Amino acid sequence: MIEKAEFEGFEYIEGGVCAAQGFKANGIQCGLKHEGSINTSKKNDLAVIIADKECTAAAVYTTNKVKGAPIQVTRENIADGKAWGVIVNSVNANTCNADGVEKAQKMCELASKEFDLKPSDFIVASTGVIGQPLPIEPIEKGMPELCKGVNYNGNTEAVNAIMTTDTMPKECAVEFTLGGKKCVMGGMLKGSGMIHPNMATTLTFITTDAAVSHEFLQRALSDVIKTTLNMVSVDGDTSTNDMVCVMANGMAENNLIAMDNDDFAQFENALFIVMVNLARMMARDGEGATKLIQCVCAGADSVQTAQTVAKSVITSSLFKAAMFGEDANWGRILCAIGYADADFDINRVDVNIASRAGKIAVCRNGAGVEFSEEEAKKILMEEEITILVMLGEGEFNATAWGCDLTYDYVKINGDYRS
């Protein structure tokens, strides 16, 4: 397990999307499968989240030109900044199908009937194989059971339903205060392959009982995404279905956040903590991954430069394969820094490699320095590795997260459909 960093004033709690008051969830196996698959797993494939009262909602979506039909429908449904719940399936992405939008609308309609709401009160999402028609019958058949079963501890069934090649559920929730009122924010995420920055990366649903205006909720999400999920890459492939949604039901009774004040800053901090933890879990659980790789680029003359360099390192296939091999082949780190699309003097670059087991300098002023291969090996045997790149040009930092490239990545993706 990777460790969660401590933040003053925030306490990690259990409960995922049900941690905040007034959110129920559930997940079931309705029986979705794709052509040719012999799906004998008992994994859930359909989930719902429902709020006790109408929520303020905000979302960000993939930048891929190919967009899943659910994205189009969600975008329309939350154009008013409001939502009551989420309906989501795995196995099939409902993307590149002629009848995709119709099917996504149908999912909202089916869910809304169970709760006596309007179809447009729902956020809808799908993840799985692209380009196969979504069978609506299993969803239709399973919907009553799914919705009747919602409860305040349903997060576990729900997160199970959104997993695809994920090997572990990804949830995080924190408790904090806003103007003396206890607030909670919690979320769940799925994502393991087809993961690359430029947007939200994968499906993420976050709920909170804090009161916040639509404008400031969207602003917080659009801010925080940049330094969290958008700094993760597993394989350089930007998915067609990426979506991050946040729903806030206001039941914590804090003063409504609708201006740029301390409460908004604290709210953003909470969102950052939830999302950075989910981002790290996602990178650690990258398809086939055995390690979480974190690259911190410090001393840049802009955030942009720091982000570009940090991402370039964690995206390099050669570097990632070396991490799998626990080989301190720092030349590949320098190579990836060198082809990053940013301006800086390569002759001032320092590189350290670190983990719980220690820290070594491998490069100073763009040239190698002697280090103990034995010590390097000890450091690289850990599950969480940090590459520290110091550009020596300014005061801006950024962190990117990725994973190693392993046999299992190839195995999983060499035959994903069946």
For residue 356, give every residue at least 6 positions away whose Cβ sits within 8 Å of its Cβ, in sequence order, or none.
382, 384
Please pick, from the candidates 151, 153, 304, 418, the single residue that binds a copy of itself as defined by CB under 8 A. Answer: 418
Does 156 participate in catalysis according to the annotation?
no
Give the shortest CB-142-to-a copy of itself separation in angstroms. Answer: 24
Cα distance between residue 2 and residue 155, in whole Å:
21
Give the shortest CB-244-to-a copy of itself separation in angstroms. Answer: 17
Given the residues 74, 127, 164, 201, select the one marked as catalytic.
201
Per the CB < 8 A criterion, the answer to whether 120 and 109 are in contact is no
Please pick, from the candidates 15, 22, 193, 286, the single residue that binds a copy of itself as defined by CB under 8 A. Answer: 193
Considering only residues 82 to 141 of the shown chain, the ones binding a copy of itself according to CB under 8 A are 93, 95-98, 129-132
Does 307 bind a copy of itself (CB under 8 A)? Our answer is: no
Please pick, from the candidates 168, 338, 359, 377, the single residue that binds a copy of itself as defined by CB under 8 A. Answer: 338
Please pick, from the candidates 101, 136, 318, 357, the single residue that binds a copy of itself as defined by CB under 8 A. Answer: 318
Q: Cβ of 112: how many Cβ atoms within 10 Å?
A: 19
Does 1 bind a copy of itself (CB under 8 A)? Our answer is: no
Cα distance between residue 354 and residue 231, in whole Å:
19
Give the shortest CB-86-to-a copy of itself separation in angstroms. Answer: 23
Please pick, from the candidates 64, 165, 228, 308, the single residue that binds a copy of itself as defined by CB under 8 A. Answer: 64
Please pick, from the candidates 366, 383, 393, 394, the single residue that binds a copy of itself as defined by CB under 8 A. Answer: 366
Give the shortest CB-291-to-a copy of itself separation in angstroms. Answer: 12
> Which 3 state secondary structure label does DSSP give 122?
strand
Helix (H) or strand (E) holding 28: strand 23-28
Positions of E strands within 62-133: 82-89, 122-126
Cα distance between residue 60 and residue 29, in whole Å:
27
Residue with tokens 């409504």: 256
For residue 47, give every residue at least 6 positions away whose Cβ sits within 8 Å of its Cβ, in sequence order, or none.
25, 26, 27, 86, 87, 88, 89, 146, 157, 158, 159, 160, 161, 162
> What residues make contact with a copy of itself under the rule CB under 8 A?
35-36, 63-67, 93, 95-98, 129-132, 193-194, 196, 198, 235-240, 315-318, 321-322, 324-325, 327, 329-332, 334-340, 344, 346, 363, 366-368, 373, 405-407, 409-418
Residues forming the active site: 201
